Amino acid sequence: MLVTRTIAGDQQSFEVLVQRYNTPLFNFICHLLGDYDLACDVSQQVFLQLYISMPTLRTGEPLKAWLFQVARNRCLDELRRKRSIHFSELEANHDDDDLSPLDIMPDNQPLPDEMAERSDLQQALRSAIDALPPKFRSVVLLRYASQLSFSEIGKTLSMPEATAKTYFQRARPLLRAAMAKHWKSEQAEGTVF
């Protein structure tokens, strides 16, 4: 409906589309690229492509899956252009002193003591996701970070819905194992004091 209104000349409808999808799309792009500034540029390119492509879009198709597919393709183009990088290297190349864009993104929420624990847990989960094989990582990121359905994930990654579900199910034990190691190390550190 918003696409149809935008095509008819209602610019506010396009602004609503951008507001609705900007945050999850940007987070997905930023995580894939590992570069905040480049993620800003790619995000703008995706919305520009949406605006240009609106007259030819099928209004019966889900827009969210189309946007994430375009974003993924743009990210892959950028990664190819920069140099050949394996997805597992995106976050691993950062030194301890060099924070990734995901770590330096501003958090407007107050950070009480219990939020520090949550942050450690999120970092451990992010590391566990980053350690997944690329085909599993994309599915997990689209499912958790972008909250896409398996049908939308399948369309985004050009795979059958059943394959997306299978990859997700195969990634879960790997994530559980990685998080179990984190919790064991946390408990071991807690007993030292």
Model pLDDT for residues 18-76, shown as the tens digit of each residue: 888 899 899 888 888 888 888 899 999 998 888 888 788 776 677 888 888 899 889 88
Q: Is the pLDDT of residue 80 over 90?
A: no
Amino acid sitting at position 29: I
Q: If DSSP states are collapsed to H, E and C, what string results for the chain?
A: CHHHHHHCCCHHHHHHHHHHHHHHHHHHHHHHHCCHHHHHHHHHHHHHHHHHHHHHCCCCCCHHHHHHHHHHHHHHHHHHHHCCCCCCHHHHCCCCCCCCHHHHCCCCCCCCHHHHHHHHHHHHHHHHHHCCCHHHHHHHHHHHHCCCCHHHHHHHHCCCHHHHHHHHHHHHHHHHHHHHHHHHHHHHHHHHC
**pLDDT digits 0-9 by tens, 165-185:** 999 999 999 988 888 887 777
Crossing angle, helix 161-192 and helix 113-130, to 10 degrees?
130
Q: Is the pLDDT of residue 129 over 60?
A: yes
